[in-house]
Amino acid sequence: MVEGHSLEKVLSAGGLTSSSNSSSRSSIPLTFDVPHQHKTNTKRFQNILTSDGVQQEEIEAGWNGKQDDVVVEQAQQNHQQPDNEDVDEVVTTQRMFRKLSTGSDDMQKVYSHAQLSSTAHGVRLLSKNLSNTKVALEVKKLMIVTKKQDDSLIYLTREMVEWILVNYLTIDVYVDAGFEKNESFNAKELCKDSRCGSHKIKYWSPEFVKDHEDFFDLIITLGGDGTVLYVSSIFQKNVPPVMSFALGSLGFLTNFQFEDFKYALSKILQNKIKTKMRMRLSCQLFRKRIKKVDEEARTTHIKYTLDGTYQVLNELTIDRGPSPFISMLELYGDGSLLTVAQADGLIIASPTGSTAYSLSAGGSLVYPSVNAIAVTPICPHTLSFRPIILPDSMTLKVKVPKASRSTAWAAFDGKNRVEMKKGDYIVITASPYSFPTLEARSTEFIDSISRTLNWNVRESQKSFTHMLSRKNQQKYEIHTGQARRCSEEELLVDPSDDSSSDSDDCSNE
């Protein structure tokens, strides 16, 4: 186990973290609990890790360089002796990240397909380690987002706030600014009942969130999936861990039950937790601008300007809007034209959004931890235009071509609907700002689709023996009993043993 930012410091010391993720949130001391891989798995990549001249003995020792000193120093701060296996894993992981970092000259030293295969396997193991990592949160500033349209949720919010203030004296609770003068919430009476100062209850607004990045340690949502999407819309960059309670109609994203909120919150605040780092999509809208260069020669220069950037958790939808014509949209992947979509529109969905609009349009279910981009047409003109799942490493572009009969309309998670004119386009990539949700149980995704969609629910096949007479029922039971005994004996008998007479008796029967 690597305590107190040691893994993060080791990675950042080598300049390995991206610019979007390199700024750590100082208000949350994190403890990473990374499962160990077997030593044989680590040694499989050492031919890659040592291709830049690093000696094999250095990796096995794990005590060279400034990165190793960080591990030792952190272990001394925690009054613990550093474990050689822990340091081995951290240093090996650090060097692998350096080797796999974008633009690294070290990757040019990989000459064979065997080395590429080993590196790809190493990436998969690193991804598995990250998905199994547990994080310990030290919550000081807690934000509660409540569905405003339901008055009964105000009293549920009040009950939760009172319990937190009584049991966790070091936590400041931030509620919606609309509750400040709300008679049902009654913050003054709440502070009096919980015997705490009025300063323990504070208020947030979208403007406050925008001006205070990396401020909150934990977010609790009381509502449905729409409440979770609202959190994604106001946190356009780094998002604190989100704990969502199911108080809506569907519940794909809300996996905690409010009836058990005292037990669930105590477990989250006192133990290490797993989070699902849900991939978001970064959508950049570019507008076509025409700048005249020479009127006499009638030549023009086409210029595109960035009109807005949106981080979406569910999907980007581009449709024909109020136009009576079907939309014509050019879909590009890494600069190459993939297809021209003639349909009512296109849905570009994240794995989280695969159970939303994309599913209704015939798209596939995608597990939340799978990094992929789902492209689903809306009522295509050709029946052969089927949904497709693309890798998250691909850069997509959807453009309204000059030949289109009408404009198109784009919506980002169902909000900020804008019109796209001819020549305008949107670039879609995997966002560097993921959306972390706390995991209630390991099977929560399967449970949610089984509960909400009745996924693969059908009646089991029935036996018709109940329609037999008593005499035939007895004969049937004797026959099935003999067949069962023979099958069990066949598993125990050696096929090379010719002296087996029991098997012959079964076959004769």
Q: Are 293 and 300 in contact (CB under 8 A)?
A: yes
| Distance, CA of 419 to chain centre | 29
Residue 410 tokens read as 């784009």
Choice among 86, 88, 225, 413 that is catalytic: 225
Q: Are 175 and 147 in contact (CB under 8 A)?
A: no
Residue that the structure tokens 């994309």 belong to: 358
Residue that the structure tokens 């960080």 belong to: 70
Helices (H), 348-501: 357-360, 444-453, 470-492
**Helix-then-strand count for the chain, H and E:** 16, 20
Question: How far apart are the C-alpha atoms of 196 and 186, rounded to whole Å?
Answer: 14
Question: How far apart are the C-alpha atoms of 95 and 46, rounded to whole Å?
Answer: 10
Residue 332 tokens read as 């590009």
* Beta-carbon contacts of residue 388 (< 8 Å; ≥ 6 apart): 374, 375
Q: Are 441 and 450 in contact (CB under 8 A)?
A: no
Q: Give yes or no: 294 in active site.
A: no
| Distance, CA of 411 to chain centre | 21
Q: Which residues are catalytic?
A: 225
